[in-house]
A and B are shown apart, each in its own frame.
Chain A
Amino acid sequence: MLHFLIIAPLLIAILAPFLYKKLKSVHTGWFVLVVPLFIFIYLLSLIRTVIHKPLLLQLNWMPSLGINYDLYVDGLSILFGLLISGIGTLVVFYSIYYLHKTEKLGHFYVYLLMFMSAMLGVVFSDNIFVFYMFWEFTSLSSFLLIGFWNHRHKSRYGAQKSMLITVFGGLSMLAGLIWMSLEVGSSSIRVLIQNSEIITNSPYFMPMLLLVLLGAFTKSAQFPFHTWLPDAMEAPTPVSAYLHSATMVKAGIYLVARLSLLFAGTDEFFLIVSGFGLLTLCWGSYMAVKQTDLKGILAYSTISQLGMIMAMLGFGTGIAVFAAIFHILNHATFKGSLFMVAGIVDHETGTRDIRRLGGLYTLMPITATLAIFGVFSMAGIPLPIMNGFLSKEMFFDAAVDLRLESGSIYQMVAPFFPIIAVIGSIFTFVYSMILFFKTFTGKLQLSKLERKPHDPPIGMLISPAVLVVLIVVIALFPGPFNKYLLTPAVTAVMGEVPHTKIYFWHGFYNAPLFMSLIVLFTGTLLYLTRDKWLHVYNRLPGRWSMNKTYDYVVNGIFKGSTVLTNSYMTGSLRSYFRIIVGFIAIIGLYTMYSSNGFALNINSTPFSLPEFLVALTMAVAAISIIFVHNRIAAILILGVVGYGLSLLFVFYSAPDLALTQLIVETVTVGLFLLCFYHLPELKRDKETSGNKLFNLVVSVGFGVLITLIGISSHSSKWFKPISDYFLENSYELGGGNNVVNVILVDMRGLDTMLEICVLGIAALGILAMIKYNRKGDLE
C-alpha cells in the first residue's frame, strides 16, 4: 500500500493537465487536494503499529544490482511523512486561493505532485539508490517550481542556482553512499547502520563522511551553500512555504538524522555538523536582520533555524536530538504559517518590501493575529502558547548540557557553544520583531501600495490558521505529540528510547531560562536601537557575501572554460595536427621508456648494396621535399619515393606489390598533378620560428617513435608467423600458386570485398564533390 502511495502523487500528476484543460470551471487544486489528504490519513493510521515495531516493506526492482524499492517505516520517517503530506494538504488548499485560474495551473500541480512523491520517497526509502533517485527528483521538481514564472529573469536565475548547488551536493552524496555500501557490502541503509563499526573504523571514514554531509549541507542550505535559498524565494509563495521551509530543506536534516546512528559518537561528525550548524544559525539570523523583503527575511530565518536543528543533531546527546526533532515539527508549523502570511500580505498589498509596508494591523486584523503567533513562536518568546519557546529552551539546555559529556572534544568546545547559541538566538529575536512590527504596526503608507489592503478570503486564511492552531496545541498539550511522534522519531535517530518530557516551566535558577531572558532583553534592546548599528552590514558581509562568491565561481568557470577552449580550439588544422601527433609521440615514447619496450636484434638478414642505394635515394628525396618550394617539383619528388618503394618490393620478392605500387604511384602522381595544377603557388611559410621549432620537435619525435617501434617489433618475434600455413595450403585449398592472390580473393576475400567498396565510395564521393552543386543537381 505504501509503495503505491508514495508514487501515487506522481500518477495523479499525469491527470492534472487534463483536469485543468477539460474542467476549466473548477480550480484544479480541488482535485489535487485529495491526494496528500489521503496519504496523511493513511500515515496517521500507521502510527499505532510503527511505534511498537518499525515496518520494513520490500519490493524487488533490480534485485541483480541490489537496487530494490524497499521502504522502512519508523518514527523518524513517519514524522517526516506526516509533515510532507499534512503541510502538503494545507499548501494545496492555500494555493487554490492564492493562484488565479489564469496561471498555468496544470504545470504547477504536476510539479508540486512530483515533488510530493519525491519527498515521500526520500523519507521512506531504505535503499540508497532509490533514496538518491528520489533525492534528485526533489532537486528537479524544486527547480521547476522555483522557475515557475519562467518569464522572469530572477526566477530563472534562482532555479539555476538551486539546481547547481543541490545537484552538486547530491552527486557527492551519491559517491559517499556508494562508497559506504561498498565497504559494508549492502545498499540498504538499515544494514549500513547495523554495520556502523565497519565504516567508522575504515581508513576512508573522513572522505565518506564529508561526501555524505556535503549532500545534506547543500540540500539543507547550511553555511557555505545557503546562498541558493534566498534566491529560491522567486517561486510562488505556496511553493516557498512547502519546499523551502517545511520539507525539501529538511531533506538534509533527515539524512543527517537517519545516519546519526551510523556516524554518532565520532568526533568528526560532532565537530563538523554542530560547527557548521551553529555557524549557519548565527550567519543566517545575522543576515536576516538586514533583509527588506518579507520572504528574504523568512529565507534567511529558515537557513538559521535549519542551522540550529543541524547543530543539535550534531551534539548527538539525548536531549539535543529530542530538541532537534521537536524543533523540526515546530519549525514546519510556524514557518509554514509565516510564509503563507507573507503570501497574503503580498497578495493584498502587491509588495513584500517592509520599507513600503506598515500599519496593516487595522486593515488586516486576522492576518496580523496569525502572524503574531508565527513570529513569536519563531522568536521563542517565553509564553506558554508558543511551541517555538519549548524547543528553543531545549536547545539551550542541550548546549549547556554538553559539558556533562565525556570526551576531550566535548570538554573543549562546551563552554563556547551556549554563547554562540545565545548570539544566534538574539538575532533571531531581532528579525522576528522586524518581521512583525515593520509590517503590521507603525505608519500606514497607503500611497505606496497598489490597492487598499483588507483581509483575504476565508479560504486563504484557513491553512495558516490550522498551522497556528497547531502551534498553540503543541505548546499546550505536548504530551500526545511526544508519545506518538517525537519519542518514536528520537528512538529511530538514537537507537534507544529517550526519557524526555516536555516542560514549559523548568523552575527558577536554571541556565536555559537565564539564556532566554538574556535573549529577550538584548534582543529588545537591539531591535529598538537598530538604526544605530545597522551600518555594520556594510562592513561584515560587505563584499564577502556568499552570493558574490557563487556568481564569481560560476562566471569564473564560464570564462575560464571559454578561455581554455579558445586556447586550443583555434580552428587551425595545423595546430590540431600538432596536438594529435605531439601527444602520440609523447605518450608512445613514454610508454616505450616506462615499459622498457625497446628491443634490438642485430642478427637479421644482411642487406645488399642495391637495396641500400635505393633506400638512400628515397631518404634524400623525402628530406628534400621539405625544402622544395615548388609544388609540382614536390609532387614529382614524392613520386621518386613511391617508385623507390616499388623497387624495394622487387628486391624483397613481392611482385604483386611491386606492380600495384608502380601503377598506383603513377596514377597518384598524375592525379596530384591534375589537381594541384589549378592551385596557386606555395606561399612562404608565415609561421613563427617558435612554431617552426615546435613542428620540428613534434615531427622528429614522431619519426623517432615510429622508428623505435619498427625496430623493436621487428627484433622481437614472439610467435610463429601463420604465413607457413598459407604457403603450404595455397594450392591445396585455394587452387592457385600465387599465394598473395589466393589470400586476397579466397582466404581473406572479405577484406578485398570491403576494400573495393571503399574504392567505389571514394570514386562516387569525388564524382559528387565535383559534378554536383550544392543543391544536389548535376551541373
Chain B
Amino acid sequence: MRTNDLILKTTTNIIVFIILAFSFKLFLAGHNMPGGGFIGGLMTAGAIILMYLTYGLGPIKKVIRVPFTFLIALGLAIAVATGLGSFIFEQPFLSQTDGYFYLPILGKTHLATAVLFDIGVYLTVIGVTMTIILSIAEDQ
C-alpha cells in the first residue's frame, strides 16, 4: 500500500527553510549570542535529516551532491588552516583577531577570524552527524 504523505512533504518544504535559516543565524550569531559552529552544525544536520525522512534516501542524494565524509575532511582542513594561518603573521598557532571594516553593502561590519575557525567546526559537525546517521540507517 502506498501512503500519501502530502501534508508532511508540504510542511517540510516550509519548515526546512526556517530551520536552515535558524541554524545559519545560530552559527553567525555565535560570537555574541548563544550559538556557534557546533549548535549551528547540528541544527543544519537536523534540517537535512528532516528532508531525508520526508523524501527518502534517493531523491535527497541527487540534491546534495557533496558526500558528507568530504565535509568532515573539509571542515577539519579549514580549522587546521586557520590555525596555521596565524603563522603567516608570526603569531602562535590558532591566534585569532578581529576588527571593524566598511563593506560595500553591509556598511560597518565586525569581522573576526574566529568565524573562519567556526566554519570548520560547522562543516565537520554536519559531516559527522550525517555520516553516522546515514551509514546506520542505510545498513539493513
Contact = CB atoms under 8 A, between A and B. Distances in A.
A664 interface: yes
Interface in A737-779: 737-738, 740-742, 744-746, 749-750, 752-753, 756-757, 759-760, 762-764, 766-767, 770-771
Interface string B75-95: 110011001000000000110
B112 A762 contact: no
Given A663-B39, A741-B30, A735 B79 contact: no
Given A745-B96, A753-B94, A756-B125, A770 B135 contact: yes
A730 to B, nearest CB: 10
A764 B131 contact: yes
A479 interface: no
B127 A763 contact: yes
Given A674-B136, A763-B128, A659 B34 contact: yes
A656 B35 contact: yes
Given A762-B128, A764-B72, A741 B35 contact: yes
- A interface, size bucket: 35 or more
Interface in A642-662: 655-656, 659-660
Prevailing SS type, chain B contact patch: helix
B127 A760 contact: yes
A742 B96 CA distance: 10
A734 B35 CA distance: 16
Contact of A745 (B97, B117, B139): B117
A688 to B, nearest CB: 36
A756 B110 CA distance: 26
A757 B129 CA distance: 13
Given A663-B39, A767-B131, A738 B76 contact: no
A671 B133 CA distance: 7
B80 to A, nearest CB: 7
B5 to A, nearest CB: 19
A749 B32 CA distance: 17
Interface in B100-140: 110, 112, 114, 117-118, 120-121, 124-125, 127-129, 131-133, 135-137, 139
B121 A766 contact: no
Question: Which of A667, A745, A752 has most B Cβ within 10 Å?
Answer: A745
Given A745-B117, A750-B93, A770-B139, A756 B76 contact: yes
A393 to B, nearest CB: 85
A670 interface: yes
A735 B80 CA distance: 21
A769 to B, nearest CB: 9
Nearest to B111: A735
A736 B32 CA distance: 5
Contacts of A766: 131-132, 135-136
A660 B80 contact: no
Contacts of B37: 745
B36 A738 contact: yes
A732 to B, nearest CB: 11
B124 A756 contact: yes
Contacts of B39: 656, 659-660, 663
B72 A664 contact: no
A675 interface: yes
A760 B114 contact: no
Contact of A749 (B73, B83, B110): B83
A453 to B, nearest CB: 81
B69 A745 contact: no
Contact of B96 (A664, A667, A749, A770): A749
B42 A664 contact: yes
A671 B93 CA distance: 36
B24 interface: no
Q: Which 4 A-B pairs have the closest CB atoms?
A: A735-B98, A736-B31, A655-B34, A763-B128
Given A756-B79, A763-B127, 5 more contacts: A659-B39, A660-B42, A734-B112, A737-B32, A752-B121
30 contacts: A656-B34, A656-B35, A659-B34, A660-B42, A667-B42, A675-B136, A734-B114, A735-B31, A738-B30, A741-B35, A741-B36, A745-B37, A745-B121, A750-B93, A750-B94, A752-B121, A753-B80, A756-B75, A756-B120, A756-B125, A756-B128, A759-B124, A760-B73, A760-B75, A760-B127, A762-B128, A763-B128, A763-B131, A764-B69, A767-B69
Interface of A: 655-656, 659-660, 663-664, 667, 670-671, 674-675, 734-738, 740-742, 744-746, 749-750, 752-753, 756-757, 759-760, 762-764, 766-767, 770-771
